[in-house]
Structure 1
């Protein structure tokens, strides 16, 4: 058990350069919340629901992190900072990282699925601060959910989701294959698909730029012609002064 705890604390240090020692990591609210959740989940599976909820509420009071006792959480799970909510039927894989103010929320049982109604987060996924992942969807392995994204559909393996409602961006394989990206958001601007409106605007700007270049070349040629009178290249022909 001690070896397992040391391995877990080291896994947190790999993802957060702030702590100077394992003792410091032990003070993290996410670490304390996970430890208390293990107790609450054991009580929940033993059908001691009231005691499980009691531990859950005590943990929420101490850490500002609300993990339902029924949630299933894998190895090396790390909540960086707090104010996170994880629902009853959420399933979280190994080496998942969640930042502050994230919600793994569920659908309304009368409108959605009465059983599984919270997300499944696959191994090595990263969920950025403020993200809302809602419903019985699956977030694929090594997927990244950007800060403040709203995700209500399945996320492919290795995809990076941004925006409200979140959309997938094209991220080079060498980017998402990196072992860890803080906050699930690449620092470099991703090469995402242009929308129809955005492409139309870009085409119009390119056409206008080409016209301006052609006019500038014509002015240069006019001035360079033999015997051409000296004139201001910024003044259009026929304009008065």
Structure 2
């Protein structure tokens, strides 16, 4: 019981460390959906381990409806997980999360298909996963790693690394830059890239049309 109470206190304390907007414990307890989702999950996970699967799933669905955060009761979560805002966060059944992990809104820790067994990622200690990132598959995100906003990670990430892009690539490892910079606002946008290509083609066609219009009629006949 003492350990469980300490876990609840840790879930509150980490909010004050990570969120400068937090003003009081009362505010955190009653208004932070991330804390509500984690506490609900801890109860649902206990029920899951007791093989009370239906009740555990029912509790997780009620929590999802209230908080907008979906955590499967089978997921294993360590101490001091901080889910900031949290709307749209999804954590799969076989996901394992270590201590002092930070997750922002819209993050998915999911699988890649209908495979059995371990099919969701393992997130080690002190990892930060930024808004909208998708980590899909059964592999490990190493300690102290950072996953950039909007990234799609499909393979293992070494410890002390920063990953950005679609698909995710390591750009910093052990404090050394690799193949680029960490610019969350400059992540690849294939739709915008295609529009730019079309605009360039239209510009070239317009220039060719103007060139043809400027030619004398006889020159156009011979061209």
TM-score bracket, shorter-length normalisation = 0.7 to 0.9
**1:111-168 deviation digits (Å, cap 9, x = unpaired):** xxx1000000000000000000000010000000000000000000010000110110
Call closer, same or farther: CA 1:64–1:115 in 2, change over 3 Å: same
The equivalent of 1:117 in structure 2 is 119
The equivalent of 2:145 in structure 1 is 143
**1:58-102 deviation digits (Å, cap 9, x = unpaired):** 100110000001000000011111210000000000000100000
- Give the drift of 1:171: 5.1
Residue 58, structure 1, aligned to residue 62, structure 2? yes
Q: Does 101-110 or 31-40 show the bigger shift?
A: 101-110
Q: Is the 8 A contact 2:10 2:79 kept in 1?
A: no
Rounded Cα–Cα distance in structure 1 between residues aligned with 2:76 and 2:108: 15
Residue 15, structure 1, aligned to residue 18, structure 2? yes
The equivalent of 1:100 in structure 2 is 105
The equivalent of 2:164 in structure 1 is 162
- Give the drift of 1:172: 5.8
Call closer, same or farther: CA 1:115–1:171 in 2, change over 3 Å: closer
The equivalent of 2:43 in structure 1 is 39
Gaps of at least 5 residues in structure 1 are: 174-189, 195-241
**TM-score with structure 2 setting the length:** 0.75
Gaps of at least 5 residues in structure 2 are: 181-223
- Give the drift of 1:192: 3.8
Rounded Cα–Cα distance in structure 2 between residues aligned with 1:4 and 1:122: 18
Q: Which aligned pairs between 1:120-199 and structure 2 lie closer than 5 A?
A: 120-170=122-172, 173=175, 191-193=177-179
The equivalent of 2:96 in structure 1 is 91
Rounded Cα–Cα distance in structure 1 between residues aligned with 2:7 and 2:76: 18
Call closer, same or farther: CA 1:69–1:191 in 2, change over 3 Å: same
Q: Count residues in correspondence.
A: 175
